[in-house]
Amino acid sequence: MKTDSPFWKFTRRGILAGMGMALLNILKPKPAHGIPDYRNNKDIPKHYLQNRDKPGFYIRSANPFMGVDINNWGLAVTGKVDNPVGLGYEDLFGFKMTRQVSRLKCVECWSAKAEWEGFQFQELIDLVKPHPDATYVYFQSADSYYESYPLFELLKPRVLMVLRMNGRPLTPDHGYPLRLIAPFKYGYKNIKYITSIKFTNERNRNYWSNNGPYSVDGTIQPGIDHPLDFGKKPLPIYGGEVFHHYDKKL
């Protein structure tokens, strides 16, 4: 070691000795970009919504929280629109309902299918009347999660604003009271516990693409899938929406 290196001078002055603990903390590996990874954290109270590897359909919740209290919940639809609105839970059932069976695929390499029921994004557009320059949509949720989409992608077939899963209202774990299902996008784009929807003229932020090695676009790429509902048997995926031969077609 060269004697004029700053590190050498530092140790020579004996400063490090008194800083042992602090230094240990500095050297500890930190989660990427400072975002806590709660996946194996056993200290989170059991009743918090959190990541759970539940057989059949895993639960992913980046910021553990108590879930939505429906008495304090509302959906704000604002931004570049003629007619901004605030909607309550009951209001959402005034929209035309549609149902589909589709698969949610996470970047962690699992997928699971469910029957989803809700309304198409077009219903919201008809209500709030976005301006011609409102080309992007920004979603926020009750757990400080956020996602954005180009507006045209939300108008694609089988994109659904979901209220019910497998014949029942969404459970708190799976996004009660309102989530987005876009079957050709990775799970992280399928935002749960939605509280606000804002029409903008530029793409806004996205939670996992800001905090992990994931694309902003999030379209499912060709590769291998390990469906939870099929014995985790590896199966090829061809990109876009994931269909397996045993998925029920509607």
Ligand X SMILES: Nc1nc2c(c(=O)[nH]1)N[C@H]1C(S)=C(S)[C@@H](COP(=O)(O)O)O[C@H]1N2
Q: What are the residues binding ligand X (CB under 6 A)?
A: 57-62, 104, 106, 141, 143, 145, 174-175, 187-188, 190-193
Of the pair 136, 188, the CB lying nearest ligand X is at 188
Backbone φ/ψ region at 28: left (φ over 0), alpha (ψ -120 to 50), beta:
beta
Residue 174's binding partner out of ligand X, Mo ion, none, with CB under 5 to 8 Å set by partner kind? ligand X
Of the pair 80, 107, the CB lying nearest ligand X is at 107
The Cα 178–Cα 176 span in angstroms is 5
Contacts of 28 (CB under 8 A, 6+ apart): none
Residue 116's binding partner out of ligand X, Mo ion, none, with CB under 5 to 8 Å set by partner kind? none
Closest contact distance (angstroms) between CB of 1 and ligand X is 45
The Cα 242–Cα 248 span in angstroms is 12
Residue 185's binding partner out of Mo ion, ligand X, none, with CB under 5 to 8 Å set by partner kind? none
Of the pair 187, 227, the CB lying nearest Mo ion is at 187
The Cα 73–Cα 194 span in angstroms is 10
179 contributes a contact to Mo ion by CB under 5 A? no
Of the pair 143, 153, the CB lying nearest ligand X is at 143
185 contributes a contact to Mo ion by CB under 5 A? no
Of the pair 134, 178, the CB lying nearest ligand X is at 178
Residue 97's binding partner out of Mo ion, ligand X, none, with CB under 5 to 8 Å set by partner kind? none
**Are 180 and 159 in contact, with CB atoms under 8 Å apart?**
yes
67 contributes a contact to Mo ion by CB under 5 A? no
Chain-centroid distance, C-alpha 77 = 19
Q: What length does the chain have?
A: 250
Report helix, strand or coil for 144: coil
**Are 220 and 186 in contact, with CB atoms under 8 Å apart?**
yes
Interface with Mo ion by CB under 5 A: which residues?
A: 60, 106, 187-188
